Structure 1
C-alpha cells in the first residue's frame, strides 16, 4: 500500500494526493521554471529533471498546484510584471523582462488574468500609493448621521459611498 493513500490523523504534513508530484519534484520544477522566467522554458526539460514523462509531469503538477505547468508559469510572469509595474520601468521593458513575445500578447494576458490593462493597473497603483489614506468624514449636521467615504475605483475616478448609522 502506498503511504500517500492512507488518511492519517497524525499531526505531520498532509499527505499528497495519489499521482501528485513529491515535495522535491515540486520544488525542483518550480525552481527551474522561475529561474529563467524571461526565457522560454520547455516543460519536457522540467519533466526530465523530475524523472517523469512530460504527460505524467503535467498531470502531477496540476494535482499539486491546481494549474497546468504553462498556466502556473504565466501566472508567475504576471505576478512579476505587477511587481515591476510598481516601479518606473517602462512597460515595454517589463514585457521582455517577463518573457512575453510582444506588448500586445502581454496586454491581452494581463487583462485576461487581472481584469484591467497594465497601464490602468499602474495608474491605480500609483494613485493608491501617492494618496494618503483618507479618514471618513462624519457630518454631524445631518440628523441620521451619514459617514461619507470617498473611494477610488480601478479606473481612477472617485465616487462617494454613503453609510447610514441608525441610532
Structure 2
C-alpha cells in the first residue's frame, strides 16, 4: 500500500504511477531524443540507456508522458518546426532541420497535428504579429440594441427572437 494514500485522498504530484519511468530515466530519454532531432534515433537505443527493454521502456514512457516515444518525438519535431517557421528560414530548410524525410512528409504530419499547413501557419503567424487585433468598439450612447435571429421551426414556421440590451 502506498503510504501517501493512507494520509491523503489527494494524489501527491511527486508519486509516479506504477510501472512508469523514474525521473532520471525520463530525463535521460528526453535528452537523448531531443539531442539531435535531425538524426534517426532508435527507441531500442534509448531503452538501453535507461536499462530497460524496448517494450517496457515504451509502456513506461507512455505512462509518464501520455504519448508513445515516437509520438512524443514527432510532437517535439513539430514544436521545433513552429519555432523555425516564425523566422525567415525557408520551409525546405525547416523540413530537414527537424528531421523529416521530405517536404510532403513534413506537411502531412504538421497538418495532422496542427490542423493547418505549415505555409498557412506561417502566414497566420505573420499576419497576427504584423496586424494586432483591435477589440471592437461599442457605442454605448445608443439607447438599446436589438438582435433579431430568425429561426425556422420544425413545421416550417418562422419565429423571431429578440434580445434587448439596455445600458
TM score, norm. by length of structure 1: 0.80
- Which is worse superposed, 128-137 or 42-51? 128-137
Number of residues of Structure 1 aligned to a counterpart in Structure 2: 147
Taking only aligned residues, the RMSD between alpha carbons, in angstroms, comes to 2.2
Deviation track 1:38-66 (CA, whole Å, cap 9, x = no partner) reads 11001000000000000100000000000
Equivalent residue number for residue 51 of structure 1: 51
TM score, norm. by length of structure 2: 0.80
Equivalent residue number for residue 18 of structure 1: 18
Equivalent residue number for residue 93 of structure 1: 93
Q: Please identify the structure whose Cα radius of gyration is greater.
A: 2
Equivalent residue number for residue 160 of structure 1: none
Shift of 1:137: 1.2
Deviation track 1:89-144 (CA, whole Å, cap 9, x = no partner) reads 00000000000000000000000000000000000000000013313211346443
Is this contact kept in 1: 2:4–2:12, CA < 8 A?
Answer: no
Task: Note the residue ranges of structure 1 that are not aligned, 5 or more in a row.
Answer: 147-163
Is this contact kept in 2: 1:86–1:122, CA < 8 A?
Answer: yes
Deviation track 1:126-164 (CA, whole Å, cap 9, x = no partner) reads 000001331321134644359xxxxxxxxxxxxxxxxx8
